[in-house]
Amino acid sequence: MKRVAILVQYDGSHYSGWQRQKNATTVQGILERALFKITHHNVKTFAAGRTDAGVHASGQVVHFDIDCIIPGNSYSDILNSLLPPTIRILESVEVKDSWHACYSAIYRHYRYVINNSKFSNLFINNWSWHRYQTVLDEVLMLSASKRMEGEHDFFAFQKSGSNRTHSITTIKNIDIKRVENLILVDIKATGFLYGMVRLIVGQLVLVGEKKISPEIFTDRWLNKKKNDVKESAPAKGLCFVNAVYEENAFKKIIYNDLFPVFLIKGFS
């Protein structure tokens, strides 16, 4: 047996999330069916983070254990020949048996994209939330978000249905910037609660539209006022950018930021 790590991109608009489900099309389910075609055995995959229905990934990290003579660096080409065009394997490598896509990760990076233009854009509609009613104040949004950095209880930003025993996690960094008419919300954390980023963005947009103050935003999450957190951003604007490890297993890909930057260059 050997352990293989793969770097995966997928367009989440076609899938009911990452995790395998009965009677639903998921990224994990399709990937494991492709591995079955290669080995004729059931191969279980493990991901750095579970993405919900409609959420994308530009650099999802996955590993699996496999008893096969195929070299670890060949799985990317073989899997790509079996997968639909909405799922691509960027690179595959053999890793140590002790390495784990989820548990070895130091932190994960999610990005949320808001299209704050007055007009919709066909080329980014599936990758952004068109919030056009008001010109958002991204400086105010950033100011409101900064207190969340560090270890806190984010119970207010956890959707119902989570099986976690607690809602404490550490946000390493939050950055919010405007690139012409796109607002990029980048959150790096050791772990994410169920629905956490979309709930945070939903509240920050209210701050940016000056419907609630930064103080109200802080009061809601700091004092666990979950009932006041009603607005959740749609899934299509969210992307799992990557997971970061002490040592980068992947060598071919520039790994710092795998998000498709062509979407933001020259956009107006």
- Angle 253-256-261 (CA atoms, 0-180°, nearest 5)? 85
CA separation for the pair 195, 106 (Å, rounded): 20
Residues 172, 152: contact at Cβ < 8 Å? no
Does residue 256 carry a pLDDT above 70? no
Q: Are 21 and 52 in contact (CB under 8 A)?
A: no
- Res. 18: pLDDT tops 70: yes
**Is residue 239 a contact partner of residue 113, using CB atoms and an 8 Å limit?**
yes
Residue 28: which H helix or E strand, with range?
helix 27-39
pTM of the model as a whole: 0.92
Residue 70 clears pLDDT 70, i.e. is over it: yes
Whether the predicted pLDDT of 267 surpasses 80: no
What was the pLDDT predicted at 260?
63
CA distance 102 to 107: 9
DSSP state of 50: -
pLDDT tens digits along 109-157: 999 999 999 988 888 899 999 999 999 999 999 999 999 999 999 999 9
Phi, psi of 30 (to 5 degrees): -65, -40
How high is the pLDDT of residue 105?
95
Domain range annotation of the chain: 2-104, 107-240
The answer, yes or no, to whether residue 23 has pLDDT greater than 70, is yes
Q: What is the mean pLDDT of residues 233-239?
A: 96
Indicate the CATH number for domain 107-240.
Answer: 3.30.70.660
Residue 264's pLDDT is 55
- In the chain, % helix, strand, coil (3-state, to 5) comes to 25, 30, 45
Q: Convert 45-56 to b/e letters by CB count within 10 Å (16 or more is b).
A: bbbbbbbbbbbb
Is 52 annotated as catalytic? yes
Of the CA atoms within 13 Å of residue 68, those in its CB half-sphere come to 22
| 84-88, 228-232, 262-266: the lowest-pLDDT one | 262-266
| 3-class secondary-structure state, position 95 | strand
Lowest mean pLDDT among 159-173, 175-189, 241-255: 241-255
* Confidence check: pLDDT of 84 > 50: yes
Is the Cβ–Cβ distance between 114 and 205 less than 8 Å? Answer: yes
Taking the CB of residue 110, how many other CB atoms lie within 10 A of it? 24
Chain length of the chain: 268
Is the pLDDT confidence value at 268 over 50? no
pLDDT tens track for 36-49:
999 999 999 999 99
Cβ 165 vs Cβ 126: under 8 Å: no
Architecture of domain 2-104: 2-Layer Sandwich (3.30)
CA distance 13 to 48: 19
Which percentage of the chain shows pLDDT scores above 70? 94
Q: Which of 52, 153, 186, 219 is catalytic?
A: 52
